Amino acid sequence: MQAVIFDFDGTIVDTEKIWVDIYSKLISEKFNHVVPTEIFALCIGTTDILLYEYLRKNVDATIDREQLAPIAEKLIGEQLAFLEPRPGVVELLSTFANQGLRIAIASGSKKKWITPFLIKNNLLHFFEEIRCADDVENLKPHPELYLAALDALQLPATECFAIEDSVNGAKSALAANLQCFVVPSEVTANLQFPEAVILKKNFNEVSLDSLKIK
- Kindly list the catalytic residues: 7, 9
Strands 179-182 and 102-106: unpaired
In what order do the strands lie in the sheet containing 198-199?
129-131, 102-106, 3-6, 160-164, 179-182, 198-199
Distance CA 191, CA 92 (A): 24
CB 86 within 8 A of CB 18: no
CA-angle at 158, arms to 152 and 160, nearest 5°: 50
- What's at 41, amino acid-wise? A
CB 188 within 8 A of CB 166: yes
Is 163 in a helix, a strand, or coil? Answer: strand
CB 176 within 8 A of CB 143: yes
